[in-house]
Amino acid sequence: MTVLEAIEKSTAFLEKKGIESARINAELLLADILECKRLDLYLQFEKPLANKEIDKYRDYISRRGDFEPLQYVIGNVEFYGYKFKVSPDVLIPRQETETLIETVIDLINNDQHLSILDIGTGSGNIPICIAKGFKNSSVISIDISENAIKIANQNVIDHELSERVKIFKRDIFVDTKEGAAKFDVIISNPPYVSITEYKTLQKEIINFEPKNAVTDNNDGYLFYNRICQIAPKLLNKDGYLFFETGEGQSEGVKKILEQNGFRNISSRKDYLDIERVIFGQL
């Protein structure tokens, strides 16, 4: 079987299964196996595939046909120009979260030493991008999931940031010791999908991504309320709190920030013109 034949056959299979953008999925999965860029496949359409490559491709296509997200099948994702390992233990970093990183990097003077806290780290995409942007910073990340922390630590090692990024297991609803370290900046992309909306999401998300990374099993505001409640104890004076929010949540989250004593509250839109990042200063 040649590269082109494999792509065409797999595209037809994925289309039948109801996978969107079947051809691109088929190409990306094969490119991963052949360790080349998707467009480089076009230069080798006539190349025959080795049996090993065909077996692996069959497995990848069958998993994708069962709605497993492409990023879990190939085991990584590109985010903010960097590569991150992912598995079903962590949320797949989304493009809109790049707006959160951009906003923090834009707004904060990055020469001074900064102490940063990231709540709900997942794959570790946020602390890694922030540590790369702020060379004098140190980032503490927390997550409730031990398995997520394993992936995040792997990514920290891959990006050679073990000195400046540390990850701990914490549950923000129980572990809030008085006298905990103080931070200049807190960042969080919390699970903000309400339980009602969660039920309407794509199969890829419901069947594969960690539920507690997507929904708060509540009205979507549980984490914003809790983080705003504990942040004043964790932030230095004039410290900043940055949130990613879901579509339609910005006004609600601004109010929660206000009620907890934050000022200079403002927001940023993402690439789809949706209010995506809300931030305030203590």
Q: Which of 122, 220, 239, 280 binds ligand GLN (CB under 6 A)?
A: 122
Crossing angle between the packed helical segments 3-17 and 51-65, to the nearest 10 degrees = 20
Task: Provide the minimum distance between the beta carbon of 225 and ligand GLN in the complex, in angstroms, as a whole number.
Answer: 16
How far apart (Å, rounded) are the C-alpha atoms in residues 25 and 64?
A: 8
User: Which CB atom, from 145 or from 250, has the smaller least distance to ligand GLN?
Assistant: 145
The residue among 66, 90, 104 whose CA lies nearest residue 204 is: 66
How far apart (Å, rounded) are the C-alpha atoms in residues 16 and 33?
A: 23
Kindly write out the interface string for residues 178-207 of this chain, putting x where it contacts ligand GLN by CB under 6 A and - elsewhere.
-----------xxx----------------
Query: If binding is defined by CB under 6 A, does position 260 make contact with ligand GLN?
Result: no
Q: In what order do the strands lie in the sheet with 183-188?
A: 165-169, 137-143, 114-119, 183-188, 235-244, 275-281, 263-269
Task: Provide the minimum distance between the beta carbon of 121 and ligand GLN in the complex, in angstroms, as a whole number.
Answer: 5
How far apart (Å, rounded) are the C-alpha atoms in residues 209 and 203?
A: 10
User: Which CB atom, from 33 or from 91, has the smaller least distance to ligand GLN?
Assistant: 91
Task: Provide the minimum distance between the beta carbon of 244 and ligand GLN in the complex, in angstroms, as a whole number.
Answer: 7
Query: If binding is defined by CB under 6 A, does position 220 make contact with ligand GLN?
Result: no
Task: Provide the minimum distance between the beta carbon of 94 and ligand GLN in the complex, in angstroms, as a whole number.
Answer: 6
User: Which CB atom, from 91 or from 165, has the smaller least distance to ligand GLN?
Assistant: 91
Q: Which of 121, 194, 250, 260 binds ligand GLN (CB under 6 A)?
A: 121
Query: If binding is defined by CB under 6 A, does position 155 make contact with ligand GLN?
Result: no
User: Which CB atom, from 141 or from 260, has the smaller least distance to ligand GLN?
Assistant: 141
User: Which CB atom, from 23 or from 94, has the smaller least distance to ligand GLN?
Assistant: 94
How far apart (Å, rounded) are the C-alpha atoms in residues 101 and 81?
A: 12
Query: If binding is defined by CB under 6 A, does position 139 make contact with ligand GLN?
Result: no
Kindly write out the interface string for residues 87-116 of this chain, putting x where it contacts ligand GLN by CB under 6 A and - elsewhere.
----x-x---x-------------------
Cα 13 from chain centre? 29
Specify the DSSP class assigned to residue 48.
Answer: B
User: Which CB atom, from 29 or from 86, has the smaller least distance to ligand GLN?
Assistant: 86
User: Which CB atom, from 26 or from 77, has the smaller least distance to ligand GLN?
Assistant: 77
- Find the distance separating the first CA and the last CA of the chain, reported in whole Å: 62
Phi, psi at 264, each rounded to 5°: 50, 45
Q: Which of 99, 125, 215, 249 binds ligand GLN (CB under 6 A)?
A: 125
Long-range Cβ pairs for the range 175-181 (8 Å, 24+): 176/230, 176/233, 178/233, 180/233, 180/234, 181/115, 181/140, 181/234
How far apart (Å, rounded) are the C-alpha atoms in residues 107 and 69?
A: 33
Using CB under 6 A, which residues numbered 54 to 93 contact ligand GLN? 91, 93
Count of residues touching ligand GLN (by CB under 6 A) = 12
Q: By the criterion CB under 6 A, which residues form the site for ligand GLN?
A: 91, 93, 97, 120-122, 125-126, 189-191, 213
